[in-house]
Structure 1
């Protein structure tokens, strides 16, 4: 029997600043409809693949929950089997929590709520889309800095925009706007990254006037204005003079906020203490810089996205974070926000650590399976009628390209779907083969499928990618669903085909987050003036 913890005791952990990770084991769709502030989405089927990165300390307290689906007990057992010693189930699940605390919709909620709090306290300057459009049409001395990820920028952008992800703004702005008379406009898709990016430049005391595009590309679209697609302009590497100005500005602001800066010996002390306190080592430079070389143990977490979506890297509220850069700017500016978000955050002094020239590529895990547990892509290609394929990819990846005839399966509901009448009919006389993009997720869930199946179940070696590499054609036209997919929350601020009502509803929701935070009382944020 699993151990239980009440919602009241869980909330006490947060109020007291004690370490605890809270995992929602449902799919992302229902998670985005309602969850506690500090809950992290970890679907049941993804536990073995993702939890080690999210909770590196095996003795860290972990709490799991569902909303009556029956995932929590199974998830607690799977987490404990990985060596985690302190795992509990939230008593009464989400419904019990909702009786004593606020539940939130959407994803990356702590960062979005914090962004709204920053704007309300700091009065971050912004202008509505029609005013921005008029400025762009009449003023030549303007730069538009898009603070989203590059992939989002190329999907849609406002006129004259160039890609400068949020963590790069202070680092690169002095070369992008060398004249103090240049107006700097910062935008994102919605509100948070525009607010945080604009306020970062204000905090760095650049001499320029800086404004956010109010409500981002959503506001632009709702105003009836056209976005541009396929833009590729990226900010260049800053000059030495630009870097020097940025370092001075970042140091001043980080000192004001109280960001601790440590040397290599200081990092060694934190590592030595990591069996008692959870420690994350995060490289906040661009993904390309990280791929070219980084110190051992540091994972890629670009600074702007780390502030925007901390829960994608860190699940344990109360953990320690150590940030790395090579310039003395990006780690300090990122840390300044994380400290205000309530994270114990340190910066490694630039130059204190050596980077590996050529880091080893990530190895796909097989979770201890043997040769007889796999089907080779060549075998599937040569004798397709012998097999029925269940694909555990997230539904967008499945739609983009899957093995012809493969059925999309829900990871958390895999056992029920494998045991269902439809699956029994499909697998009659055939071997059931699990696949996923690289095969890792499929391998992690083989035991679950075998326990539910009446026949032979195996894993496609190397997953769908290996099948394609072996010459297999992927299908993006005909889809087969074992159930209605709810594994993805359709973000109203990404893509160009969002309904106007969804975009307006998203903005309305963001604007009420400060009130919801105040009613909840467990955020632990402090905005430095």
Structure 2
């Protein structure tokens, strides 16, 4: 299929049109994080076969591919055509051309969600509390409930003293079982700013009489104020709702749906939407993983509501798509829908109890199969006979542990094969990555390529010498890892300062078109109740 090209100016105009598109930055994650257009999502060439179907499930969607001006988008174009995508266009000149046209390349990840969080705080005047004031409350044994709105895994890495893990989408749902009085202040925290703001504002939208506050700058702000964090705390099990709490959740859901003008859809209507192959419909179950595994609506992907709002670019690759949210009583779906709608998505709440769904177990995701495999025990003999050994693992994983004779490679950096007849073995810790390198080597003319997926432990157990190379690949070579303030949660306080400054500066970088995407919803009656509750 011939490759259609589009200029940066024409693409900028296209992004403002009310039709479906997916703006895919096909560079590796580190490159993407160093600077990308506001409405782009990362779909790395290294794993395009498995990430594209999740981000862009409809093969008729217009997909704009952007690289670093190095031809990688053309390679992705060929792969996606083979996968069945029928409407592809490549940004002429890639990311450099976008910048040369005068458009911003945004540093970091989850930029839309984080920009939206800053706007919500400004628009809703979400009250916050400083680390110093919260610490003083604790020192004086003043009543306060601290709820950490991040994922349980993040909570376990580091948390505030006295905090309880309760991911953002669970806050309104579980709070009746956690808090019995109407006077105790409730503080929502995350690691930085976004989920603290969104979590606190979500509770304020319920019209609670309790003071609800966001912890300013989260755990990073706590450390920057000189206070210690807890590490390794096991998240407490979330409470099961009583019959009264379930009834309250249902009534609150209906109230939010009415006040924010949210759309509902029946299972029959949902099926009609899913059957339309010319329009994208995402179906997400926003409950906890435990609940999802027990039962969920057929075809639903698992996306905890708090994470879906925090990282929309990791779940939704298609703009202007239909997004249907599933849960049990409607409250978690409605609470999530408020924020997704505010970020410009066409959102629906599914009128069905996911607990009665027909499917069980983990989500079935796209997968690839290696065309030729070699047992790990046979790799050493092949090397002795002249085979070349490549390691397709992530760059930072290679730094930590790899077989001594293995050379690190990334699919995007492969441009030629020196000896096309000699055997090549590609090892790695991910089938997706090994597959991608094997495919590219074969495309370049290598005649004998085999793959072997394993772990450093399996390599050692089989007798291979496993070593670490802390500076190989170099930062410049390690294009699949974002080094920008990557150690802010490992007590690098300067990195934490840089990160918070970056977050606070996002809104000032938006142009008129980008800013118009973000529109926090208004519920006048409820908002007045929130302000009254805060007084």
Alpha-carbon distance between aligned partners in 2 of 1:502 and 1:408, rounded to the nearest angstrom: 28
1:408 correspondence with 2:408: yes
1:243 correspondence with 2:236: no
Alpha-carbon distance between aligned partners in 2 of 1:363 and 1:459, rounded to the nearest angstrom: 21
- Paired residue secondary structure (1:445): helix
* Aligned-pair CA distance for 1:493: 7.3
Alpha-carbon distance between aligned partners in 1 of 2:263 and 2:378, rounded to the nearest angstrom: 56
* Aligned-pair CA distance for 1:35: 0.8
Write the mapping of 1:94-493 to structure 2, written as runs, cut at 5 A. 94-98=95-99, 99-240=101-242, 241-273=244-276, 275-351=277-353, 354-356=356-358, 358-359=360-361, 362=364, 365-367=367-369, 370=371, 373-380=372-379, 385-386=384-385, 387-399=387-399, 401-403=401-403, 405-413=405-413, 415-416=414-415, 419=417, 431-452=423-444, 456-460=448-452, 463-464=453-454, 468=458, 471-472=461-462, 477-479=467-469, 481=472, 484-490=477-483, 492=485
Alpha-carbon distance between aligned partners in 1 of 2:110 and 2:230, rounded to the nearest angstrom: 26
Write the mapping of 1:516-527 to structure 2, written as runs, cut at 5 A. 516-521=509-514, 523-527=516-520
1:514 correspondence with 2:487: no
Residues 490-511 of structure 1: CA distance to partner in whole angstroms, max 9, x if unpaired?
4647663253222212211211
- Paired residue secondary structure (1:448): helix
* Aligned-pair CA distance for 1:471: 4.7
Match for residue 27 of structure 2?
26
TM-score (norm 1): 0.90
Quickly say closer, same or farther: Cα 1:100–1:363, change in 2 above 3 A.
Answer: closer
Quickly say closer, same or farther: Cα 1:115–1:322, change in 2 above 3 A.
Answer: same
Residues 361-398 of structure 1: CA distance to partner in whole angstroms, max 9, x if unpaired?
7477445x55xx21123433776645543222223444
- Paired residue secondary structure (1:220): helix
Gaps of 5+ in 1: none
Bigger Cα displacement from structure 2, 322-331 vs 97-106: 97-106
TM-score (norm 2): 0.89
Match for residue 85 of structure 1?
86
Residues 264-310 of structure 1: CA distance to partner in whole angstroms, max 9, x if unpaired?
1111121122x121111111111222222222211111100000001
Alpha-carbon distance between aligned partners in 2 of 1:77 and 1:428, rounded to the nearest angstrom: 24
Q: Is the 8 A contact 1:377 1:467 kept in 2?
A: no
Q: Is the 8 A contact 1:167 1:330 kept in 2?
A: yes
Bigger Cα displacement from structure 2, 91-100 vs 221-230: 91-100
Match for residue 7 of structure 2?
6
* Aligned-pair CA distance for 1:37: 0.5
Quickly say closer, same or farther: Cα 1:467–1:3, change in 2 above 3 A.
Answer: farther
Residues 53-110 of structure 1: CA distance to partner in whole angstroms, max 9, x if unpaired?
1111001000111222221222222212211111001123223322243321100100
Q: Is the 8 A contact 1:54 1:316 kept in 2?
A: yes
Residue of 498, 514, 528 corresponding to 1:505: 498
- Paired residue secondary structure (1:23): strand
Residues 21-66 of structure 1: CA distance to partner in whole angstroms, max 9, x if unpaired?
1111212112112111011112212111210111110010001112
Residues 313-360 of structure 1: CA distance to partner in whole angstroms, max 9, x if unpaired?
111111111111123211111111111111001111132784235347
Quickly say closer, same or farther: Cα 1:444–1:354, change in 2 above 3 A.
Answer: farther
* Aligned-pair CA distance for 1:482: 5.8
* Aligned-pair CA distance for 1:485: 1.1
Residues 453-498 of structure 1: CA distance to partner in whole angstroms, max 9, x if unpaired?
65632111xx115983995478875239466312111464766325
Gaps of 5+ in 2: 523-535
Alpha-carbon distance between aligned partners in 2 of 1:361 and 1:271, rounded to the nearest angstrom: 17
Alpha-carbon distance between aligned partners in 2 of 1:232 and 1:508, rounded to the nearest angstrom: 31
RMSD value, Cα: 2.7
Bigger Cα displacement from structure 2, 46-55 vs 474-483: 474-483
Alpha-carbon distance between aligned partners in 2 of 1:140 and 1:131, rounded to the nearest angstrom: 11
Q: Is the 8 A contact 2:267 2:352 kept in 1?
A: no
- Paired residue secondary structure (2:41): strand
Count of residue correspondences: 515
Quickly say closer, same or farther: Cα 1:129–1:428, change in 2 above 3 A.
Answer: farther
Quickly say closer, same or farther: Cα 1:519–1:267, change in 2 above 3 A.
Answer: closer
Quickly say closer, same or farther: Cα 1:108–1:323, change in 2 above 3 A.
Answer: same
Quickly say closer, same or farther: Cα 1:493–1:452, change in 2 above 3 A.
Answer: closer
